[in-house]
Structure 1
């Protein structure tokens, strides 16, 4: 049994498109950044903590015939060394979009898979370039509501696509889940190999 430890509709949609069958249990965790914690460590830690928390919650479902596998993920945007998560309000969304305007930033997604015998982690990094965006365009975008539940206050698969001339790396990572890496990690988790910890 596969459980996605995320309420993100984008991750749900991507896993469904990839042909996976799964259930959803969102992890309710403190997602505050630790002091001096690098962005890569932050998303990897949160992805593992989410997966582990949900696995612990459903541990009784784990059987030899149908092992319990929990997938966790966390995404953040980094510009000028600042980690941008989801905006707290419209003013925060405006601040983030102004920071991203006319620049290249990095999107990091940590993924983790927890089973009864393994904890596997991986990291995907994509560079995203924004065109210059005017204040009025930003204001119009915020009114749409789209930025308010997205890391970095934008959705590459939505209206903000008009401002993104190029990316370097996995598009799906920016949406919220690097599918190819995720499938590979799930395959490793379901293999008979001994417990390992994967980081990159």
Structure 2
């Protein structure tokens, strides 16, 4: 595989770094603080794509030969977006709401070069078993999911003990739809085989 543009990942997420590294591509990480506000009229996938695109815009003036990758993952229970919880009570309420039902995880991704900007998303449906209060408390106490949309990480204990099945990409739920990203990098001629 040959990269025709050096890759930059604009994310501090250890999960995104690990997933991109799993593709066997060299990349550098560049991070700026970017507000994650979005217009209220946007719904679901449009929010994830807007946030990924908005993050990329913060780097546009700095891009020369590189291809920049930004992403944003949201958890949707119906039309309600579950953000990162601020404290134990909020995390508990989110996991209680997700318990015994299905929800969708949507990751918006933006690939930005000097010549073009491409934005796309992926959706995965996640089915939780009925979680007991003790299971929710155990997870929050031991895993502190305050940096995760929807208050959980599928790769952690709650995913192993509580998720019955998914429809779609597992990696999308972790935070980066690597198969779709790989395909886009090839189509955009950022990457050749």
TM-score of the aligned structures, taking structure 2 as reference length: 0.91
Please report how far the alpha carbon of residue 187 of structure 1 lies from its aligned counterpart in structure 2 after TM superposition. 2.0
User: Residue 100 of structure 1 corresponds to which residue in structure 2?
Assistant: 98
Bigger RCO of structures 1 and 2 (CA < 8 A, at least 6 apart):
2
Q: Tell me, which stretches of 5 or more residues in structure 2 are unaligned?
A: 1-5
The one of 39, 43, 62 equivalent to 1:34 is 39
* Residues 38, 50 of structure 2: 8 Å contact kept: no
Listed as ranges, the gaps of 5+ residues in structure 1 are 193-200
Among 113, 124, 135, which residue is 1:115 paired with? 113
More strand by share: 2
Q: TM-score, normalised by structure 1?
A: 0.88
Q: Helix, strand or coil for the counterpart of 2:146?
A: helix
Structure-1 separation of matches of 2:25 and 2:144: 27
SS at match of 1:190: coil
Residue aligning to 1:178: 177
Shift of residue 13, structure 1, vs aligned partner: 0.2
Deviation, 1:32, is: 2.3
Distance 2:9 2:190 in 1: 19
The answer to whether the aligner puts 1:54 opposite 2:54 as a matched pair is no
Change (3 A) 1:185 1:146: farther
Which of the numbers 156, 159, 162 marks the counterpart of 2:157?
A: 159
Structure 1 outlier segments of 4+, above 6 Å: none
Aligned residues: 185
